Structure 1
């Protein structure tokens, strides 16, 4: 996750954008911060999904094969 300061700045810029047009510098900063946030978010979700195991009601492992393959590769390296 992004540091609190960066999240606060993202929110501050979003609020400013609703009140007035952002300057070119502010718009560039907002775009950069949003890209960084999305990259961090996607990375976090990817790690979560790659570490999940799906067990059905009968107790059988029904984790998709693609995820099992990724998990195996990571265990080998």
Structure 2
């Protein structure tokens, strides 16, 4: 899940874009934040779908196959979580850089 600060920043940039326009740096920041938001949404949605269960009578072979698939999904989710944490760290660094640029532009 995206941090509240990032969502607030996305909303701020959207509002500013409609009211007065964005600088090139802000447009780039907005694109990065939107991409991160969409990727995060998709991962969460996939997670919800993966956790859905349909109940029916299964053979031993089907049950074993499903258990194996579930384990693979758990591993993939763990990997995605690690990647998401890395993206969040990168995004925070980008946001800090964008805020520095934004502050410099405001001062000029």
TM range (shorter): 0.7 to 0.9
Tell me the equivalent position of 2:26: 26
* Aligned-residue offset at 1:54: 3.4
**Pairing 1:73–2:39 present:** no
Structure number with higher relative contact order (C-alpha < 8 Å, ≥ 6 residues apart): 2
Calculate the TM-score normalised by the size of structure 2: 0.53
Cα pair 1:16 1:22 within 8 Å, conserved: yes
Question: Aligned-residue CA RMSD in angstroms?
Answer: 2.2
Give CA-to-partner distance per residue, 1:15-39, whole Å, 9 cap, x none.
Answer: 0011022110000000000000000
Larger helix share, 1 or 2? 2
Alignment of 1:20-59 (within 5 A): 20-54=20-54
Instruction: Give the number of aligned pairs.
Output: 66
Alpha-carbon contact 1:10-1:30 (below 8 Å) kept: yes
Taking the aligned partners of 2:18 and 2:66, their CA distance within structure 1 comes to 43
Q: Give the gaps of 5 or more residues in structure 2.
A: 58-64, 76-108
Is the 1:50–1:70 contact (alpha carbons within 8 Å) kept by the matching residues of 2? Answer: no
Runs of 4+ in 1 over 2 A off after TM superposition: 69-72, 74-77
